[in-house]
């Protein structure tokens, strides 16, 4: 079933997050949304679910980037290794 209704304001904000992630895989918009105590976590969850449906490889990349950023002292070395591993698939 196709929904012809225009997206609500909340849905549009979620779609905006997905568009930004697909454009450059930068997790900063997710972090900013998480800091919004109102509906931030729910919006991020919805955006990640939608992104996983649209682009499974990108959702893995976003998750990996977040782990690297959060847990490594020198993320540059991990990014180089990650690119090599990703290209081998």
Range of the domain at 23: 9-87
- Residue 47 and residue 21 in contact, taking contact as beta carbons nearer than 8 Å: yes
| Contact residues for 14 (Cβ-Cβ < 8 A; gap 6+) | 43, 46, 47, 50
Can you list the positions of beta strands (E) in the chain?
A: none
Does some domain include residue 79? yes
Instruction: Please state the domain count of the chain.
Output: 1
pLDDT range class, residue 82, cuts 50, 70, 90: very low
Does some domain include residue 4? no
Closest among 49, 42, 50, 32 to 10, alpha carbons compared = 42
Does some domain include residue 2? no
**Mean pLDDT over residues 17-41, rounded?**
86
In this prediction, residue 68 carries a pLDDT of 84
Which residue do the tokens 């690297």 mark? 68
pLDDT range class, residue 78, cuts 50, 70, 90: low
At 40-76, the pLDDT tens digits run 899 999 999 999 999 999 989 888 888 888 888 766 6
- For the chain, the distance separating the N- and C-terminal CA atoms, rounded to the nearest angstrom, is 35
Average pLDDT over all residues of the chain = 80
């Amino acid at each position: 079933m196709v929904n012809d209704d225009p997206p609500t304001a909340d849905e549009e904000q979620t779609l905006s997050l997905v568009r930004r992630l697909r454009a450059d895989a930068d997790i900063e918009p997710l972090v900013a949304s998480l800091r919004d105590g109102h509906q931030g976590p729910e919006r991020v969850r919805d955006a990640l679910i939608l992104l996983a449906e649209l682009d499974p490889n990108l959702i893995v990349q976003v998750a990996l980037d977040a782990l690297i950023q959060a847990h490594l002292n020198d993320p540059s070395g991990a990014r180089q290794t990650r690119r090599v591993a990703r290209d081998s698939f």
